[in-house]
């Protein structure tokens, strides 16, 4: 009895993830998913079953531009998610203590609510 050994490529972690419970492939509103049209790298294909999320081909060629997430009408409901590599997440440093922070960390600092130097934009100003 001979043992067969197979080599399998290491799975590439997907940068773009679809939630099949939320994403309906923009059906029946549009002819093809908006994320497929918006993708600059052409790594998304419409699913043959039009009610399912698009198919992600060549995930390693994704340039993390976020156009697909921005174009998705259901992105706020979690239909599409862009997984940023940890080294590319926005970081900042508190000048007084020297602490480093990054988006998505467990205990982020409170948001900066001070107005910018020139003041708020007119459309953002609070109405009194």
Q: What is the CATH number of the domain that holds 47?
A: 3.30.70.20
pLDDT, position 12 = 52
> 0.85 cut: is pTM over it?
no
Question: Domains in the chain: how many in total?
Answer: 1
User: What is the C-alpha radius of gyration for the chain, rounded to an integer number of angstroms?
Assistant: 21
Mean pLDDT of the chain: 79
Asked whether residue 25 is domain-assigned, the answer is yes
Asked whether residue 116 is domain-assigned, the answer is no
Asked whether residue 24 is domain-assigned, the answer is yes
Asked whether residue 6 is domain-assigned, the answer is no
Asked whether residue 122 is domain-assigned, the answer is no
| Closest to 97 in 3D by CA, of 107, 109, 113 | 109
CB count in 10 Å sphere of residue 103: 10
Confidence of residue 1 (pLDDT cuts 50, 70, 90): low
Q: Hunting for tokens 């998304």 — which residue is that?
A: 44
Helix (H, G, I), strand (E, B) or coil at 16: strand
Asked whether residue 74 is domain-assigned, the answer is yes
């Amino acid at each position: 009895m001979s043992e067969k050994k197979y080599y399998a490529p290491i799975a590439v972690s997907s940068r773009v993830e679809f939630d099949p419970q939320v994403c309906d492939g923009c059906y029946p509103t549009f002819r093809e998913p908006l994320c497929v049209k918006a993708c600059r790298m052409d790594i998304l294909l419409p699913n043959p079953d039009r009610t399912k999320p698009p198919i992600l081909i060549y995930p390693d060629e994704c340039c993390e531009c976020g156009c697909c997430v921005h174009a998705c009408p259901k992105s706020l409901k979690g239909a599409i998610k862009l997984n940023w590599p940890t080294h590319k997440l926005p970081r900042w440093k508190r000048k007084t203590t020297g602490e480093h922070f990054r988006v998505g960390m467990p205990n982020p600092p409170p948001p900066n609510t001070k107005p910018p130097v020139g003041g708020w934009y007119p459309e953002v100003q609070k109405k009194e």
